[in-house]
Amino acid sequence: MNSTLENQQRDLQEFILPPLTQQTIERAKQGVASARDRHINKTIQEALCRAEAIASGSSEQKISGEFRRTFLRTAIHSLFRVKVEFPERLPTTPSLITANHLNHIDPFLLFSELPAHPFCQIMGDARSLYNQWWKRQFLRIGKGVIPLERIWKEEMAVVEGAKAGREDLAPLAAAIAEYVPKGNSIEAMRRLDRIVQATFARGEGIMLFPEGRLGNVEGELLPLKRGAAIYALRSGVPIVPIALIGTQDLYLGKELTLRVGEPLVFPQSNRPKPFEVQAVLNELQGALTALLPKDYCEPTGLKPLRHFLNNLFL
């Protein structure tokens, strides 16, 4: 178990930091503002307490997966054309759903197309999931969130820039140190592992994005973090890879594709060894890469509501 936690901690430190552009600095400022927002913090703590209580055996009142799916499908299909390839591969038993990640719409798009049963939880960045009032309201009602409290790569870049002598970044770096949770404590990792294993044990699925952050290019996959492999090995559930195509740049009427891969099944291991984890990661990386388009071309022509839709889910 200790080696598992050490692997997860190391993953949090393996970001390739972005350059210190004004955009990076503004994103870090947004992150700090979210970390200090009492509404966001209240929602995160409520979700964590609820997840811990359920992991300890408490019951939960939540809306049905069918209602959540129908609501999101109606909303998303009114804005985009959605195509699901190989829908027969969508899981009907507890599974770990893994997908590439290009836009903050991705979890909502997946929820709109995944089967209503078994109920699926999303494991995702807490501040990204709860940073807008409508997201907080929907996810509070619909439940199904395992929030991750962690530092963003943009915030890490600012901290490193301040350490390297950028005096203008010192106040922002100090605010990051004071308000932004790192998410890499042993206690936090153990709590997360308990929640994940309890979720699978009660017959539910989990969705996560194994790249650990948003990608920048359609058809390209970032190196995967170890978490997906560790959770799959410890629980013994299959991994279902799904390629999301077209979500990097949104506009009204655009076609968004979910390409579902064959489930990947591995022997259960309560204490997965590093070579076992790496073998699962290699197979998952290969499966996702094979599902992604090799020559994606962004459509040309009019792109109505492009700015609005790309900012709606930020």
Tens-digit pLDDT profile for residues 41-75: 999 988 888 888 877 777 766 677 888 999 999 99
CA angle 148, 175, 15 (to 5 degrees): 45
Distance CA 97, CA 106 (A): 12
pLDDT over threshold 80, residue 10: no
Question: In the predicted model, what is the mean pLDDT of the chain?
Answer: 90
Q: Which residues pair with 187 in a beta bridge?
A: none
Q: Which CATH architecture has domain 2-12+62-150+184-312?
A: 3-Layer(aba) Sandwich (3.40)
Stated as kind and residue range, the H or E segment containing 35 is helix 22-36
| Residue 20: how many other CB atoms lie within 10 Å | 18
pLDDT of residue 241: 98
User: Domain residue spans in the chain?
Assistant: 2-12+62-150+184-312
Q: Which residues pair with 85 in a beta bridge?
A: 259
By the 8 A CB rule, do 140 and 39 touch? no
Query: In the structure, what pLDDT confidence band is assigned to residue 139 with cuts at 50, 70 and 90?
Result: confident
pLDDT over threshold 80, residue 26: yes
pLDDT over threshold 60, residue 107: yes
pLDDT over threshold 80, residue 8: no
| Residue 215: how many other CB atoms lie within 10 Å | 17
Stated as kind and residue range, the H or E segment containing 141 is helix 133-142
pLDDT digits (tens, 9 = 90+) for 145-167: 899 888 998 999 999 999 999 99
CA angle 188, 192, 196 (to 5 degrees): 175
- 170: nearest Cα among 178, 127, 17: 178
Q: Which residues pair with 241 in a beta bridge?
A: 98
| Residue 13: how many other CB atoms lie within 10 Å | 10
pLDDT over threshold 60, residue 2: no
Task: Tell me the residue type at 150.
Answer: R
Distance CA 108, CA 135 (A): 10
pLDDT of residue 9: 44
What tokens appear for 255 in the block?
């076609």
pLDDT digits (tens, 9 = 90+) for 176-228: 999 998 777 788 888 888 899 999 998 999 999 999 888 889 999 999 999 99
By the 8 A CB rule, do 184 and 150 touch? yes
End-to-end Cα distance, the chain = 35
Task: Tell me the residue type at 102.
Answer: L
**SS3 of residue 104 by DSSP:** coil
